Structure 1
Amino acid sequence: MMRRTTSYSNCSISSRRAKWWREDIGIPYVVTFNTLVKGFCMMGNNTAAIQLLRKMEGNGCEPNIVSYSTIIHSLGKDTLVVDAMNLFSEMMRRGIAPDLVTYNSLINGVCKLGKWKEGTRLLNEMVGQIIFPDVQTFNILVDAPCKEGMVIDEKSVVEMMIQRGIEPSTMTYNSLVDGYCLRGEMDKAERVFDLMVSSGSIVVRVITY
């Protein structure tokens, strides 16, 4: 039985042993590496995660969309957008198509830095690749500017989501209410609240009040 270790230095495995893992035991080799990548990202150690990505290649294991998206998500969360975009470009050059998780992570990162136009550009890019946004995508695009008091018209946002078959969540409405309150536009905040209640599918929570 192989002893499990959290030491990064022990993650290096010879190509011969890696092949043995794949064929004789049947453990998905890329999944093993991806689990370690996720672990480093959860610890906030993006540098070690990227180094492990390089070790995958050195051990004859091709990184996949999960490998890249996991690190891109972690970088975006930490607003290390330049690094995230560089990794995104590398992934594209390797012919690995991004998915919804990849784009949501990038949009989250740029919006945290106040780059709303870049967030919109990424939204348009993903739709152009037939990758359709979900409620999380819209929540990111709504919440970030609202925290700065830059509120998008609530009807256009909600209508756009509904047209795409996406039900606005409590977070969607709360972000809009919060944004209007920051601007002192209580009449509009109340209008969003009424829209939230009239939708009939949202449970009004204490935070909204």
Structure 2
Amino acid sequence: MGVKDSGESSSSGDNDGRCQKSQSLNFGGFDEFEEGEGETCCDIDDDDFVALNSYSVQCDRTDDVWKIELEEDEFRHPLVREINRLIQLRLSWNSKLESDMRHLLRSLRPRQVCAVLLSQDDERVVLQFFYWADRQWRYRHNPIVYYAMLEILSKTKWCQGARRVLRLMARRGIQCRPEAFSYLMVSYSRAGNLKNALKVLTLLQKAGVELNLALCNTAIHVLVMANRLEKALKFFERMQIIGIIPNVVTYNCLIKGYCNLNQVENALQLIADMSSKNCSPDKVSYYTIMSFFCKEKQVNEVRDLMEKIVKESNLLPDMVTYNTLIHKLSKHGHADEALDFLREAEARGFQIDKVGHSAIIHS
């Protein structure tokens, strides 16, 4: 789950001082967004990156992402389970059930409210509960609840819902960090609205929120997922001009973009260039290229890459490596090659699970 815990203050009390923003945020830029879920707006140009020019060079920007990790105990808490039960009865709600829900809501701690949101299978139900709770007397959402809500919506195409949550944060005086805008950007991207996804950068600027590496990585990711690698590379250059140094996540996004366009040589060259940038490739960097080779049935290239990993990066093949190879080869119908890697893995003492065996059988 993605929101850094802002403390265990009661969700009905005042927010943590670190979570408040003293200045008034300017969110007039919301009106510039085009309405409609699922609209496809793919005509982008360099003007969509103009917001980058407003940020000063060599600013100190850390990759500081709000995160909250919920324990299983929080999902199993009696209050959380009872609210989930009442939500399931929403079609037959009456004044007594709503009163019971309201009473329970005021007893929930912020992390437990997040657990309720994450327990729902339908994002529409999540939004309904979120807004219902926001309207209740003597209750106020803790900041982490807003970020949990935005993260949930970022996994859907409900970009307008994410936009409304961000506006509500502004009205409630909740600090809008770059991660909040990042979630909105991803939601627009999932809805196929790349134009509005990139307009989030301008919205960030108007709100007076400082750009950071995490949001830059999100922008590159959405461009890559839209098969706009050329634009992603331009953004990659511009972010460095204003002093934002890429990390391994940035490079992995671009490696994925090259592989998506069958430009594996460029992907390999990017990995080679990373060392000179004081950024070592990780297993994801190599797994992305391995997946490309598996799709193309280039087993010799896979083995050469495995040797390179050991020699240059000191990353030893493990069970995850072999599981990745077996599943990718099986997915693309290369059962014999997958079986060879399964036998090799077991010879090295790794236990491939039943899912791996089944993948080979059904490939």
Which TM bucket (shorter chain)? 0.7 to 0.9
For 1:162 and 1:30, the matched residues in 2 are separated by 37
Residue 315 of structure 2: which of 161, 165, 179 is its match?
165
Residue-by-residue CA offset, 1:110-162 (whole Å, 9 max, x unaligned)? 11111011101111122222222222211111111332333444433333334
Amino acid at match of 2:308: M
For 1:140 and 1:39, the matched residues in 2 are separated by 24
Normalised TM-score (structure 1): 0.75
Residue 196 of structure 1: which of 336, 340, 345 is its match?
345
The residue number in structure 2 matching 1:103 is 251
How far has the Cα of 1:176 moved from its partner? 5.5
Amino acid at match of 1:93: I
8 Å CA contact 2:247–2:279 kept in 1: the answer is yes
User: Identity, % of aligned pairs?
Assistant: 21
1:208 aligns with 2:360: yes
For 2:183 and 2:216, the matched residues in 1 are separated by 12
The residue number in structure 2 matching 1:6 is 161
Q: Secondary structure at the match of 1:96?
A: coil
1:57-96 mapped onto 2 (5 Å cutoff): 57-96=205-244
How far has the Cα of 1:104 moved from its partner? 0.9
Q: Secondary structure at the match of 2:208?
A: coil
For 1:180 and 1:171, the matched residues in 2 are separated by 14
Q: Secondary structure at the match of 1:138?
A: helix
8 Å CA contact 2:325–2:338 kept in 1: the answer is no
8 Å CA contact 2:290–2:302 kept in 1: the answer is no
8 Å CA contact 2:248–2:279 kept in 1: the answer is yes
For 1:67 and 1:132, the matched residues in 2 are separated by 21
User: Where does structure 1 lack aligned partners over 5 or more consecutive residues?
Assistant: none
- State how many pairs are aligned: 197
Residue-by-residue CA offset, 1:179-206 (whole Å, 9 max, x unaligned)? 8949xxx5x6654332222232351511
Which stretch has the larger CA shift, 53-62 or 37-46?
Answer: 37-46
Residue-by-residue CA offset, 1:47-105 (whole Å, 9 max, x unaligned)? 21211112212332221111111121122123221121121111111111111111111
* Structure 1 residue ranges, 4+ long, deviating more than 6 angstroms after superposition: 1-5, 9-13, 177-180
For 2:291 and 2:267, the matched residues in 1 are separated by 12
Amino acid at match of 2:200: L
Largest Rg, 1 or 2:
2
For 2:290 and 2:242, the matched residues in 1 are separated by 32
1:156 aligns with 2:304: yes
8 Å CA contact 1:135–1:169 kept in 2: the answer is no
| Distance of aligned partners of 1:104 and 1:55 in 2 relative to their CA distance in 1, 3 Å threshold | same
8 Å CA contact 2:322–2:341 kept in 1: the answer is no
| Distance of aligned partners of 1:34 and 1:178 in 2 relative to their CA distance in 1, 3 Å threshold | closer
For 1:30 and 1:189, the matched residues in 2 are separated by 42
8 Å CA contact 2:342–2:352 kept in 1: the answer is no
Amino acid at match of 2:235: L
Higher relative contact order (CA 8 A, sep 6+): 2
The residue number in structure 1 matching 2:292 is 144
| Distance of aligned partners of 1:192 and 1:30 in 2 relative to their CA distance in 1, 3 Å threshold | closer
User: Where does structure 2 lack aligned partners over 5 or more consecutive residues?
Assistant: 1-133, 135-139, 147-159
Residue 280 of structure 2: which of 119, 127, 132 is its match?
132
For 1:28 and 1:58, the matched residues in 2 are separated by 12
